[in-house]
Copies of this chain bind each other. A is one copy, B any other.
Amino acid sequence: MNKLIENDCCSGLEGILLPKMFKALSDPNRVSILIRLAECCAPCSVSEVAECCPVDLSVVSRHLAILREAGILEAQKRGKEVYYTVCSRTLVNTLRRIADALESCCPVDADPEVN
């Protein structure tokens, strides 16, 4: 309880560093799904996405829903199928904003040998 300056430089970090988004990406299968969709570069149906992980189709469906609710994917129904797409703009902007905030806050990695 000496310094604890509580710098406000990382303005808004609380607003962007949302656990919900990270929780969505904390599962290996969900990450595989995201990579699959990113590499595909086009909307993919649930069945197509499911090829990337060794779990039941229903599980993939649930994972897709979690990613969608986290704002990482977008769903679009077309006929019998549901096509999922990566919300890349949102995702990229969020990651960059977090990086910027962290960088402005801890400029030079808060050199461990400061004092």
Contacts and interface: CB of A to CB of B under 8 A. Distances in A.
Interface string A71-114: 00010100000000111110110011011011101100110101
A19 B41 contact: no
A91 B91 CA distance: 16
A40 B112 contact: no
Count of identical protomers in the assembly: 2
Contacts of A101: 38
A56 interface: no
A38 B9 CA distance: 9
A35 B19 contact: no
Interface of A: 1, 3-10, 13-14, 17-19, 22-28, 30-31, 34-35, 38-44, 48, 51, 74, 76, 85-89, 91-92, 95-96, 98-99, 101-103, 105-106, 109-110, 112, 114-115
Given A38-B102, A38-B106, 18 more contacts: A3-B40, A3-B42, A13-B35, A19-B25, A19-B31, A22-B25, A38-B105, A41-B106, A85-B109, A85-B110, A85-B112, A88-B103, A89-B109, A91-B102, A92-B99, A95-B95, A96-B99, A99-B99
